[in-house]
Amino acid sequence: MQAAAKEQMPYIMLDDDECEARIVAAKQALGERLVILGHHYQRDEVFRHADYSGDSLKLSREAAHSKAEFIVFCGVHFMAEVADILSRPDQIAILPDLSAGCSMADMANLAKVEHAWQELAQVLDPDETVTPVTYINSAADLKAFCGAHGGIVCTSTNAQHVLGWSFRQREKVLFFPDQHLGRNTGFKMDIPLDEMVVWDYDKPMGGLSKEDIHKAKIILWKGFCSVHQMFQPEHIDRFKDKFPEGKVISHPECSFEVCQKSDYVGSTEYIIKTIRDSEPGTRWLVGTELNLVNRLHDECKADGKSVHFMSPTVCMCSTMFRIDPQHLLWTLENLLDGSPVNQIKVPEKEARLARTALERMLEVSP
Ligand code: 13P
Ligand code: SF4
C-alpha cells in the first residue's frame, strides 16, 4: 500500500540552506531513478539541482529519452504535460508546484479554438486549407486538437521549420496562442505583414472580414507573453545611443518592433549559446526573462563581456518563480517515501493525439 504523502506545510517554513542540503541528499538516495529537468528561467536555488537544463525543445527531447522512473520538471505546467506525453507509461512526470502555469498558454483554450475553427468553416473549409499550429506553450488538449486536424506543435527553436512543413500541407496556418512568435517567424519567411491577421477570440469571426481571412497566410491568435511584452524598442534605442558597438539579442516572444531592432532573435538556448560564443569584451542587451539574464551576466563577467537586461523594470516570469527549493524538496522526499505528489497525467486519448502533433514537430526539427 502507498504511504500517506508528507504534508507540504512544514516544508514552506524551511530556509533555503536546509532545503539545499536535503535536496542534495534526496537526489543522491534516488540516484538513477530520478531526473530533474530545469528550464532556463528557473531561479538559481532550483536551477543548480537540474540534471539537464534547456529550452522547451531540448527539454522535451530529454524527457522523451530519459530512462528515469521519475521526471521532476522545474518549469511550468505545459512542460510537465509534454514530459508525461513523450515518456513511457510507467514513468511519472512531476511538477513541484501545480500553480506554476503559463499566462500566455492560458490565453487559448479548446472551447475558443474549436469555436474559431467553426467560424472559419463559414468562410472556407479549414480541414482542407488551414494547418493548425500550436506553440508548445499551450495545454495538452490544444496539442491534441492539432494532432486531430493534421496540425503540429512548434517551439521558439523550430518555428520556421514547422511553418515550412505546415505550408507544405495546406495553404494557410492558424497559429496559437502567441501572435508574436507567429508574426516574427512568418516575416522571416517573407510573408508580408498584411497577410498575417490577428484573430481576436473575444469578437465574432475573430473581428475579421471574409476578405481578411481569404487574403491571410497566417491567422495569429491574439495571445502574448506578459513578460516579453515589457521590452520596448525605446530600450534598444537608448542602449544603442550609449553603446553603438553593443549587440542586441531577443526572444521571439518579443514584439515585432523589438525583434526588428535586434541583431539576433532566438530561443533561450540560442541566446545563451550566442552570448557564450561571442568575442571576449562584447556588450549585450538581452530581451528575455531576468533569471536567465542575471545568470549570463555573472557567467560572462570573467570574459569581460557585459550583459544588460533590456527593461529598466524588473520582469520575471512569476509562474516559473513558483518552483522554489521548498516545493522541490517536498516532491523529492515524497518520492523517497514511495508516495509521489503532484504527478501530471494527461488522459490517454488526449495524450495520443497530442503525441501525434509533438512527434510531427520532433521529426521536422533541426
Ligand atoms: P524557450 O523554448 O525559448 O526556452 O521558451 C520558453 C518560454 O516559455 C519562453 O517564454
Ligand atoms: Fe509563459 Fe511568458 Fe512565463 Fe514563458 S515567460 S512561461 S511564455 S508567461
Question: Do 71 and 148 have their domain in common?
Answer: no
Contact between 85 and 361 under an 8 Å Cβ cutoff? The reply is no
Q: Is residue 351 in some structural domain? A: no
Residue 207 included in any domain:
yes
Rounded to the nearest angstrom, the distance between the alpha carbon of 317 and the centre of ligand 2 is: 6
Of the residues 201, 225, 249, the one at which a domain ends: 225
> Residue 2: its pLDDT value, please?
62
Which of the listed residues 175, 208, 225 is the one where a domain comes to its end? 225
**46 in a structural domain:** yes
Nearest CA to 325 among 7, 23, 8, 9?
Answer: 23
In a domain, 365, yes or no: no
109: domain range?
Answer: 105-225
Whose C-alpha lies nearest to ligand 2, atom 5?
Answer: 317
Q: Could you tell me the pLDDT band of residue 314, with boundaries at 50, 70 and 90?
A: confident
Q: Are residues 258 and 327 in the same domain?
A: no
For residue 152, give the CATH number of its domain. 3.40.50
Over the chain, what is the mean pLDDT?
Answer: 97
Work out the angle at residue 250's Cα, subtended by the Cα atoms of residues 244 and 251, and round it to the nearest 5 degrees: 180
For the chain, the straight-line distance linking the first and the last C-alpha, in angstroms and rounded, comes to 45
Q: How many residues does the chain have?
A: 366
The set of cell numbers assigned to 282 is: 562584447
CA of 103 relative to ligand 2 center, distance in Å: 7
Task: State mean pLDDT over 230-239.
Answer: 98
Q: Does any ligand 1 atom lie closer than 6 A to the CB of residue 155?
A: yes
In a domain, 323, yes or no: yes
pLDDT in tens, 138-195: 999 999 999 999 999 999 999 999 999 999 999 999 999 999 999 999 999 999 999 9
Cβ contacts of 185 within 8 Å, gap of 6 or more: 159, 160, 163, 252
Q: Residue 315's pLDDT band (boundaries 50, 70, 90)?
A: confident
Task: Name residues whose C-beta falls within 8 Å of residue 133's C-beta, 6 or more positions apart in sequence.
Answer: 146, 151, 152, 153, 154, 162, 163, 166, 173, 174, 175, 176, 182
Ligand 2 centroid vs 105 CA: distance in angstroms? 8
Is residue 120 domain-shared with residue 220, that is, in the same domain? yes
CATH number assigned to the domain comprising residue 23: 3.40.50.10800
Q: Would you say residue 274 lies in a domain?
A: yes
- Report if residue 194 sits inside a domain: yes
Same domain (yes/no): 109, 221: yes
pLDDT grade for 209, boundaries at 50, 70 and 90 = very high
Q: What is the pLDDT of residue 1?
A: 52
Verify that 215 and 249 share a domain, yes or no.
Answer: no
| Whether pLDDT at 118 is above 60 | yes
Q: Closest-lying ligand to the alpha carbon of 318?
A: 2
- pLDDT of amino acid 145: 98
Answer yes or no: do 219 and 122 share one domain: yes
Residue 245 burial (CB count, 10 A): 8
pLDDT above 90 as % of the chain: 98
* Residue 229, CB-side half-sphere exposure with 13 Å CA sphere: 10
pTM: 0.97
pLDDT per residue over 242-294, tens digit each?
Answer: 999 999 999 999 999 999 999 999 999 999 999 999 999 999 999 999 999 99
Number of domains in the chain: 3
* Mean pLDDT for the stretch of residues 14-43: 98
Among 43, 102, 255, residue to substitute to test ligand 2 (most atoms within 8 Å of Cβ)? 102
Q: Is residue 358 part of a domain?
A: no
pLDDT interval class at 33 (50, 70, 90) = very high
Please write the tens of the pLDDT for every residue from 68-115.
999 999 999 999 999 999 999 999 999 999 999 999 999 999 999 999
